[in-house]
Structure 1
Amino acid sequence: MSVELELADWRRRVAELYAEVRHADDPAAGHRRWRAGRDALFREHPQSPLPADDPLRASGLPCAPYDAGLRFVLPLIPASDPDARLELDAGDDAGTNLVPVGRVELPDPVGGSLEVWSLQQYGGGLFLPLRDGSSGRVSDGFSSYGGGRYLLDTAKGADLGGDDGHLVVDLNFAYHPSCRYDSRWLCPLAPAGNTVAATVRAGEQMPTA
């Protein structure tokens, strides 16, 4: 199979996995399905960002237990700066262009505001990245990638759903971008405005031992 078809298959499987999550009987069951599916892709798929000898292929990706208190259905409210523009490096003299479409306010125990971005490349898509108190350091025994994690990336099928004017934002589904696992991948990272001070002890994490 060509690399292009492998990549198309990867994205198709990710989209199918999130569709299963959205239709799960309860969010915790959906999270278990997401973890199992993501581990299988990273272990077996030819487009896995894990090097062939990476022990995470056998152990699975480190992830915190599901916390029902970190799932929210949030209204999309006006962006802090609707005229803002971001161009994030994507390598080979290319960039990923984003414009804000709104923001979500995370309730306690997290708190803080996150901008929701729209990808301006072909096909578009919503992009919701996160940096928190664990990004790039160990905080209360928990650590995540310094470049942040993704909550939503609908262009890649990472979509937890919502309704008219609302988004499902479940911090348990925070996941690391591919560049966390292999430097040959170039990923748009969370901008400074998508930072919360609290440590989000949910979702994928870095090994701390």
Structure 2
Amino acid sequence: MKNRNLPNRSDALERRELLLAAANTVFSKYGVTAPLDQVVSQAGVGRATLYRNFPDRAALMEALLTRAADRIEERFLSKRKGNAQDFKVLMQVLAGFALESAPMSDYWKAIDPGHPAIVGVRARLVELAREPLEKGQAAGQCNPALQPTDIPLLIGMLAASLRGRTDKERLLFVKRSLQFLCEGVLVQVDSHAPEWEPE
């Protein structure tokens, strides 16, 4: 007979996701050094639940990085067109995620670059960019000097623009950053393409 005092797997996963969403919100507002008690309060769970899922701040940040890579991949795969425009689509997804998850670049800086979590996430993003970049370059639409390994650098450049004081300022900064980055990485820009707006 199932012990009713034990949480089921879906409850545990739901609480874990609540903690990750809360950490993203708190770290976006106060930085990655914000007290973890603020994360607990934002999530509406007990402190023991936090430490059962994430024994320390490093474990929480590693999980946030993996979650970020998962969401970037999911969004890109749902939006890609299967043609030479896909690198531009990827850039738009990265800009939208940078706006949604402002501390992402801080996660990169706070964890040792040789840490397995960083190495794994970087490899995933580089691999995600490889095919769309090759298609864009083959069609003469992307700067031939750009390499898939430049993707973490582009993410950092987008995230670095999110230092505005208000959501409106941050949206303006990331849109301008995306515009300047695209002018640098895209050889041909479709003038008929709709203006990018975050989700």
TM-score, normalising length: structure 2: 0.31
**Higher relative contact order (CA closer than 8 Å, sequence separation 6+):** 1
Structure ranking higher in helix proportion: 2
Structure ranking higher in strand proportion: 1
Structure having the higher Rg: 2
